[in-house]
């Protein structure tokens, strides 16, 4: 059997190498048609889609950076922030303020950031952006995204993280959340979340993708 090469590997029991969640999700490809359709639309309008998205993307990226710093309780690197324009900083700051309001209203306490998660049961790993706990002690898992939409593979990613987090911390993951900063000129903040039934359903899909990923070398040997 050919060796599987992972873009990012995680070590489990006995230093066994596992694929990362995002590597496994690359087998899905559900979002490619969305990107292609948008690029085609820009072309019909005689617009350079790369140039059109550059300004908005920078604001979204800065919002993501500021949000990470806020949630981790650290001061963002001044040199990095100052590389952006005053207008970009203001708009990204507004989005992060909306995140802060959501955090206060949801009454969630920070549990961990950049949490390395391993599932020895299923054989994969991943790094979750944020873990919170609620008043009952159950976990909530959140991922920071930069983009103009919330896509199906996001819930698959979160479901995989949630299953690995339960194995890692021996705690129930009650809900998963996407905290998204739009790549638009207003740099809006968006929140989406899913509960236990949705997590279980999405994880069933992820397990199929994991099986496909592990069988890929056998198929490539046939070529």
Instruction: pLDDT tens for the chain, 223 residues: list them.
Output: 333 344 467 888 888 889 999 999 988 865 555 455 545 565 666 666 566 566 667 777 888 788 888 888 889 889 999 998 888 888 888 888 888 888 888 888 899 988 999 999 999 999 998 999 999 999 999 998 877 788 889 999 999 999 999 999 999 999 999 998 776 666 678 899 999 999 999 999 999 999 999 888 888 788 8
**CATH number listed for the domain at residues 9-220:** 3.90.320
At residue 190, the pLDDT reads 87
Hunting for tokens 């303020």 — which residue is that? 97
Domain assignments of the chain as residue spans, ordered by start: 9-220
DSSP string of 134-173, one letter each residue:
-TTS-EEEEEEEESS---HHHHHHHHHHHHHHHHHH---E
Per the structure block, which two tokens stand in for 4?
């599987």
At residue 29, the pLDDT reads 67
């Amino acid at each position: 059997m050919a060796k599987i090469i992972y873009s990012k590997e995680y070590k489990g029991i006995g230093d066994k190498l596992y694929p990362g969640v995002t590597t496994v999700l690359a087998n899905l490809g559900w979002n490619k048609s969305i990107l292609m359709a948008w690029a085609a639309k820009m072309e019909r309008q005689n617009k350079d889609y790369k140039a059109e998205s550059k300004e908005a993307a920078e604001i979204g990226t800065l919002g993501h950076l500021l949000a990470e710093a806020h949630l981790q309780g650290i001061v963002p690197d001044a040199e990095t922030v100052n590389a952006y324009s005053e207008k970009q900083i203001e708009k990204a700051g507004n989005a992060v303020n909306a995140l802060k309001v959501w955090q206060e209203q949801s009454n969630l306490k920070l549990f961990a950031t950049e949490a390395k998660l391993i599932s020895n049961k299923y054989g994969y790993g991943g790094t979750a952006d944020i873990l919170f706990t609620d008043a009952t002690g159950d976990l909530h898992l959140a991922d920071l995204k930069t983009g103009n939409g919330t896509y199906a593979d996001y819930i698959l990613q979160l479901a995989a993280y949630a299953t690995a987090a339960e194995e890692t911390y021996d705690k129930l993951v009650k809900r998963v959340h996407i905290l998204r900063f739009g790549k638009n000129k207003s740099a809006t903040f968006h929140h989406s979340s899913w509960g236990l039934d949705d997590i279980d359903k999405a994880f069933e899909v992820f397990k199929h993708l994991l099986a496909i990923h592990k069988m890929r070398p056998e198929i490539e040997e046939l070529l």
